[in-house]
Structure 1
Amino acid sequence: MKLWIDADACPVQIREVMFRAAIRKKLTLTLVANQRIKTPPSPWIKVLVVAAGFDVADNEIVRLLEPGDLVITSDIPLAADILGKGGQALSPRGELFTKENIGGRLNIRDFMDTMRASGVQSGGPPPLSQADRKNFADHLDRILAQSQ
């Protein structure tokens, strides 16, 4: 199993959890972003800088992903592509995307896009809470335990 982070929008606290997990489990972690991201020195952690542009990082993750790999992303269409390729997708808030829930998540996302396009102000997601971080860490631990 390799670990991936859709890093442009991933909260720093979640990246730090992933750094510790990669080093502890000796798993390759690759952060994919359109800019350089600071990481701790480790042979297990890499940064892949891609060109700026719509879905460039997402497309690169999907291209390089192998079945069983885990990707951290809050991008629902990317999560659907990951699942379609046999990978696992976990949001920074600890929501595990599955084949059973991804269709509904895509529908909600599309509905919210339509609402925003019509001028409805929905605001963004709330700040990452301590409960979100714990939920993420718990899901990550379960996934990593299953992969061993």
Structure 2
Amino acid sequence: MKTVTYLALGAFITLSQPAMAEPSINDMQGCQALIDFLNTKLDQTSYDSSDVAKVQDGLGAYNSYIQNEIVTPGLLKFSNGDQSKASKLQEQVDAYKSQVVAGYNKRYPQNRLFMDHVLALDKCAQQAVPQGADLQALKTSMETMVAILKAS
């Protein structure tokens, strides 16, 4: 089972092509909620601070990518360029993310990471692949998460 898990992650780590289909805002707000949850969880753990920083750097880069390249443009497109409507839609996205984070907190009350988290992040990354430095930061983040889990 662990071998399959690491092989699945390895498939992402070598991925460098953009995702084929345009990711949906709905899927990406769920991914942003996962990132918010992981950042909070990492702040509560006793993992090595340099490992936590590597993971959070990659998560931050990926979150910015999702927001700037998918969510914000998607909301503007959906609202026909009306910034006021897009801002109200962003508030709804943020409220939904808070609900998803609360659900993660109920499911994972422990102050640690699980392989489920890495696999969920991998699924997000397969839907929306950043490029360049953001991709490298995300890869480093995920590799560090796996290393933390192996050491636990």
Same fold (TM over 0.5): no
